[in-house]
Amino acid sequence: MNSTTRQPPGYEEVGGRCCPMCEGPADTHWCSHKFTYGPGDDAVELTADLPVGRCEACDFEFLDSEGEKCKTEAVCKHLGVLSPWDIKAIRRRYDMSRAEFARLSGLGEATLARWEKGILTQNRANDRYLRLIAQRDGMDRLRAIAVEPNDVTDAAAPTGERFRVISITSDLRKEQQLFQLRRAA
């Protein structure tokens, strides 16, 4: 790691860090870190500026969750997709719970949680969908076409039984035995 003084935009340093080894006071310095992303021949080398904690008492250096966030940001930038924090910001912009956002968008609530926590990265199609939803007119159009199951009228549904029950008769069994798929001419 190479020491730098660069701090990514949006990063707020938390004061009062303690060393995990001796619990002494720790400060933060920034290091440029190279890491491999992807499997086998598809692997690429990415670079991320990471906040490294350094203990003033014992000189122990450590990374915390902020370092992982910086690495995740670098991966998302490489892939050209929204970061977990961008996804969460879209949902919060509309003041919606994860369940409400999932219901409206048709995305799974557990999937949204994985994306927002950085456990999984959304594919390009879902990323584009999220970018459309991020636009006010995109959300307005989604709200216009989204229909809750309770809003659908049952006018087309038959009265009485919801499912037709087929009686198994001997004639039906004979028809089933004679049934064969044939190649089209």
- 132, 138, 139, 144: CA torsion to nearest 10: -140
**Gap between the Cα atoms of 10 and 179, Å rounded:** 67
**Gap between the Cα atoms of 145 and 156, Å rounded:** 20
Query: Which of the two residues, 77 and 23, has the higher pLDDT score?
Result: 77
| pLDDT at residue 1 is higher than 80 | no
User: Which pLDDT score is estimated for 96?
Assistant: 96
Domain boundaries, the chain: 2-64, 84-148
User: Which pLDDT score is estimated for 161?
Assistant: 59
- What confidence tens digit (pLDDT) does each residue in 106-117 have? 999 999 999 999
| pLDDT at residue 152 is higher than 80 | no
Residue 84: closest CA among 76, 96, 95: 76
